[in-house]
Structure 1
Amino acid sequence: MSSSSSTPPWNVHRLPRADGRVFLVTGGNAGIGYFVAEQLSGTGATVVLGSRNPAKAEVASASIRARLRGARVRSVRLDLADLSSLEATVESLGVERLDAVVHNAGVALDDPPREETVDGHELMFGTNHLGHFALTQWLMPLLSAAPAARVVTVGSFAAKSERLDLEDLQSRRDYQPKRAYGRSKLAQMHFGLELDRRLRAAGSRVSSVVVHPGGALDSLTPSRPPLHVRTTGARLGAAPAALLVQGKHAGAWPAVRAVLDPAVYGGRLWGPRVFGLRGEPRPEPLWNHLADTSVASRLWDASRDLADAVPGAIPG
């Protein structure tokens, strides 16, 4: 889709209606994912929270319903670290089409030990990237059934300074947690861009957009008890940081716009307006390393083998 002079200015506080549409938000029970789900729920759409923990997902759903009367929100169990479970998760959606999926869920490890998924993949790469890669394969029939569905991949500013090691995607030789996390998010972003290239080549109506939240801190995030409670001390202590970064409610804005705005089209990167760290969402130039299509293509082939992807679900 392309922008038009008749398109009204985007207002993060006055979102367009999306009645009758269905959106899936992975990791929608906490953090940025919760606020993506909350904001999308205010549009009249049906929002499905994908979460490993059903109890936490129900608390998040209850919070959204309490704030937005009549919100159509529910949850499905989703474990991106168990690739064999994803087919059943998609079947449990119980819908005929899906208008958008927001690939938001992820794990970040601060402690040195390297961990693995049940499939034997490094936990952050296996969950953040391979899990979403495989999930998209299973979702493609539902996405293709919608008039103009979108796959929105939430990357991270942490990926900007990283580069993929295509010979060691699983960080077996030299595991450093923060670097492994940044690379897993970079892999996600490469995937989102490569997905759009392949969808365009196949003439698909589905498009793929990559976003990042900038700097999003809990201490600048409004309370949503019992999910998140911001104390007065935390709010005051974080006040200087608000000049450079923002809360997770604002970190959700690029993803929400990528789902809803008819002026957004595939293959683009969206982030916060001010230095890519805070402010309203805007398109930004692709980071130089993200524009390397050869890396993205090689990553795609490796991911397809590692995730044992559904043959033919996505072109290429």
Structure 2
Amino acid sequence: MRTQQWDVRRLPRADGKNFLVTGGNAGIGYFVAEQLAGAGATVILGSRDTAKAEAAMASIRSRVPGARVRHLQLDLSDLASLKSTVDELDRLDAVVCNAGVLLEQPRRRETRDGHELMFATNHLGHFALIGRLAPVLSGGRVVTTGSFTAKSARLDPGDLQSARDYQPKDAYARSKLAQMLFGFELDRRLRAAGSTTSSVVNHPGGALDSLTPSRPPFHVRTAGQRLRGLPAGILLQGKETAAWPAVRAVLDPAVQGGQLLGPRVFGLRGKPRIEPVQGLFADTELADRVWAASVDLTGVDPLECRP
């Protein structure tokens, strides 16, 4: 089984391939982009913030000589903007649906479309984006990055956007569960349609800034932060290693559509492994209902957008 053979430090070459990483300008997404660029791919950083994207690209170029990186203006919370955004792309071999927002304020916020902000950005935006990208992604791989918190989330199909009982952390977990259900359902529907595009789901485990190596100027870890983070390193990890499941999901030719990848140690840290798809992740009825609701809310069906 390939699980034992995958080497996070010796990635297969990806020269000539084009990968889009949403939210590739910061956090785990940055390290996904850095590692994919190190494998020789052209990496496109999907981000709303041009200045942050420029800083991230400068950092990647300083660590990966000859890195091929560029920025794509991308706002997942603005559904209307996605069609013109993806018109700038010609061909993709994979897209990593990584971008996400976690709000801590108790006040529920909505997008201009009237959708709860976390659900809109984390799930609906990616749902619509994959539909828009279908013509340039034929035969490629959709990699959806969820969250460990989704394993304990509860999702009410009648209240997907937490209008009745909004709590920030619960709403975030629900949005990530919806996103992961979409990743699994997408692969089922692609297989049924005879498509050569595949969909893989991953989660990064537990990642802390205090365990994350510095990448100036957008992330600088002080000596004090590093020392304070050491005890947490027993169970958690930095964002560099939290990127490994997504990177493997993109690059490993042995990974198959419909699989779930996560960290080896308690699902929280360590090298990426293939996990069983069980519990809510295997609930096909719930996934079907989330899909139908997402089509209604976005006006996009990813399967109907294929060439």
TM-score range, shorter chain: over 0.9
1:105–1:128 CA contact under 8 A, matched in 2: yes
Q: Does 1:150 align with 2:141?
A: yes
Runs (5+) with no aligned partner, structure 2: none
1:49–1:73 CA contact under 8 A, matched in 2: yes
Deviation at 1:8, TM superposition (A): 8.5
Bigger CA drift: 306-315 or 293-302? 306-315
| TM-score of the pair, normalised by structure 1 | 0.95
Deviation at 1:313, TM superposition (A): 1.3
How many Å separate the matches in 2 of 1:39 and 1:118? 34
Structure 2 match to 1:121: 115
How many Å separate the matches in 1 of 2:94 and 2:176? 20
Structure 2 match to 1:106: 100
2:13 counterpart SS class:
coil
1:178-197 alignment, distance < 5 Å? 178-197=169-188
How many Å separate the matches in 1 of 2:161 and 2:262? 28
Q: 2:125 aligns with which of 112, 131, 146?
A: 131
How many Å separate the matches in 1 of 2:163 and 2:301? 26
1:38 counterpart SS class:
helix
1:40-189 alignment, distance < 5 Å? 40-93=36-89, 95=90, 97-144=91-138, 148-189=139-180
Structure 2 match to 1:289: 280
Amino acid corresponding to residue 127 of structure 2 in structure 1: F
1:126 counterpart SS class:
helix
Deviation at 1:310, TM superposition (A): 5.1
How many Å separate the matches in 2 of 1:159 and 1:217? 18
Q: 1:236 aligns with which of 227, 239, 243?
A: 227
How many Å separate the matches in 2 of 1:55 and 1:287? 41
Structure 2 match to 1:34: 30
1:196-231 CA-partner distances (Å, limit 9, x unpaired)? 000000111100000000001100000001110011
Amino acid corresponding to residue 71 of structure 2 in structure 1: S
2:262–2:275 CA contact under 8 A, matched in 1: yes
1:160–1:287 CA contact under 8 A, matched in 2: no
Structure 1 match to 2:203: 212
Structure 1 match to 2:189: 198
| TM-score of the pair, normalised by structure 2 | 0.97
How many Å separate the matches in 2 of 1:115 and 1:188? 19
1:279 counterpart SS class:
strand
Q: Does 1:304 align with 2:304?
A: no
The runs of at least 4 aligned residues of structure 1 exceeding 6 Å deviation read: none
Structure 1 match to 2:242: 251
Distance 1:160 1:310, change over 3 A: closer
Aligned length: 306
1:138–1:310 CA contact under 8 A, matched in 2: no
Deviation at 1:163, TM superposition (A): 1.4
